[in-house]
Amino acid sequence: MQRYLLSRVIQSIMLMFGVLILVFFLVRLTGDPARIMMPRDASPADIEAFRDAMGFNEPLPAQFFHFMTGALQGDFGRSLHYRAPAMRIVLERMPATIELSLAALIFALIVAIPLGVIGGSRPGTIWDTVCRAVGLVGQTIPNFWLALMMISLFSVTLGWFPTFGRGGFSSIVLPAVALGLFPLGKFTRLVRSAVLEVRNEDYVRTAYSKGLLDHRVYTHHIFLNVSVTLVSIVGVQFGYLLGGSIYIETIFAWPGVGRMINEAVQARDFPLVQALAFVSAAFIVLLNLLTDLAYVLIDPRIRYED
């Protein structure tokens, strides 16, 4: 286990180096960075002065060395829009995105797990039909369309929730529901399928033959095995929520990194884009690492061999 953990940490570090290399060259593959980052009406003298100030006149190996040296220290330069260190701005906005993503994930799990278990344990019933319908609707309705419809109904018409901003509990309800709809549908279908597969196993029939009640069989035998499959997709979906909240944060004016990505791209703020890409990739790599380690904690039968 220790050797596996060490190998996964080394792989994660190498992957982050690959992300840094990709971020560095993607900015330069789009053309002259100075012309892209400067306003369209900038004079050639202004562009040349900006190119010299940003170090774009240096040889490419020298630019790469300076970029990697700064990135390893958490320095991606100063944001052109905010006039502040790019990494500091990203870290200030990250808690809002994590808060929204966690709320959306919790909402999806709270609804999907009971619904999937009930649907999988009673195939062919009305509960199973509802379960399949929720799974289908959750994965087909665009979340940005749902966000606009909920704002129109619950905020404008009924006045139950604020239309935008980050405040108390009421301000996170609508964006969390809109963002969590897709993972809700995926979790519901996954749990239902896993329960349908596990409920016919020999150890489940043995548990029933011992006279155990339904709730004990499902909590101590079926769901524990289903949770191993669920954990694998939860980590992936949480990474999706962190990176896929651009539209939801923009619609609800949520002050997170998703909204900032949209603003940085429109403002051609490449130092900020680089910092955002690195932080987002770091969170996804960390989530994948934690997901792999969670397998052992949930199911002791799983052992990683070198």
The mean pLDDT value for 243-265 works out to: 82
Is 78 strand, coil or helix? Answer: strand
152 near 83, Cβ under 8 Å? no
The mean pLDDT value for 233-262 works out to: 82
Dihedral sign computed on CA atoms, order 297, 302, 304, 305: positive
DSSP string, 165-230: S--STHHHHHHHHHHHHHHHHHHHHHHHHHHHHHTTSHHHHHHHHTT--HHHHIIIIIHHHHHHHH
116: which 2 tokens?
């999937």
Gyration radius of the chain's alpha carbons? 24
75: which 2 tokens?
């320095």
Bridge partners (DSSP) listed for residue 85: 78
- Better pLDDT: 304 or 34: 34
What distance in Å separates the CA atoms of residue 299 and residue 303, rounded to the nearest whole number? 9
This prediction's pTM: 0.81
- 105-164 pLDDT per residue, tens: 999 999 998 888 888 778 888 888 888 898 888 888 888 888 899 999 998 888 888 888
Domains of the chain by residue range? 2-72, 92-298
Residue 146 CB neighbour total at 10 angstroms: 19
- Better pLDDT: 36 or 261: 261
DSSP string, 223-263: HHHHHHHHHHHHHHHHHHHHHS-HHHHHHTT--SHHHHHHH
CATH fold of 92-298 reads: MetI-like fold (1.10.3720)
